[in-house]
Amino acid sequence: MAWIVLCAYIGWLALAFARQTWRQYRRTGDTGLRISPRPGSAQWWAKLLFIAALLSCTAGPVADIAGATTGPVAVPTLTPHPVVAGIGLALIAASIVATPIAQIAMGSSWRVGVDPDERTRLVTRGPFRMVRNPIFTLVTALPLGAVLAVPNAVSAAGLLLLVAAVQIQVRAVEEPYLLRTHGQAYRDYAAKVGRFLPCIGRLTPPTAPR
């Protein structure tokens, strides 16, 4: 099981980052990577947490394969029920299949990171009609599936780090940027569409002064 999860991580990284970056550059002449944020900024912290999460998520199945879940200094682990493990694998498969679809729906607006001085088109089509951040939802589904399939402390730490990184990136970086850039158009969109899941996390319009 751990080998399947590890290979899934590698395949997902190849599709979601390497292939998509090359595809974006070939189509637009721009990689879409905005990964040099100001040190100490919210986006900088989100980047560090993403890196830590990626390393931890990869180390989870590696620890299982290497036998680090047994012995005097062991990584705490559980043996998953076959049904739970199956749900985990289904989540991993869904993330691998659906992430490129969501990236394609973004077209030339696809970015990793945010340049505050850049203006990109507001994407509300395809999976963005159901949730505002489908890619982040799918990014989170992968380590969640890994925790269900290979439940050990390292995988769980990776999931928690990733959730923290996503929350900071979306709430403190991307949503303020989109509000500044698209104004009322984004407010109207966010009032109808959930943040990560349908109907959950919609932005409430500010109350008009009396």
pLDDT tens over the chain, length 210 residues: 889 999 999 999 999 999 999 999 999 999 999 989 999 999 999 999 999 999 999 999 998 888 765 554 456 677 778 899 999 999 999 999 999 999 999 999 999 999 999 999 999 999 999 999 999 999 999 999 999 999 999 999 999 999 999 999 999 999 999 999 999 999 999 999 999 999 999 998 754 334
Rounded to two decimals, the pTM is 0.89
Residues 139 and 166 sit within 8 Å (Cβ to Cβ): yes
pLDDT, residue 79, reads 77
pLDDT, residue 74, reads 57
β-bridge mates for residue 200, sequence order: 197
pLDDT, residue 204, reads 83
- For residue 80, the 8-state DSSP code is -
Length of the chain: 210
* Cβ-proximal residues to 202 (8 Å cutoff; 6+ apart), any chain: 190, 191, 192, 193, 194, 195
pLDDT, residue 64, reads 87
pLDDT, residue 207, reads 44
| Of 135, 148, 168, 146, residue with least CA distance to 56 | 146
**What token pair was written down for 40?**
């100490």
74: left (phi over 0), alpha (psi -120 to 50) or beta: beta
pLDDT, residue 68, reads 61
**Spatial distance between the Cα atoms of 96 and 26, rounded to a whole number of angstroms:** 22
| Of 199, 196, 175, residue with least CA distance to 122 | 175
- The angle at the Cα of 55, spanning 52 to 56, to the nearest 5 degrees, equals 85
Residues 34 and 112 sit within 8 Å (Cβ to Cβ): yes
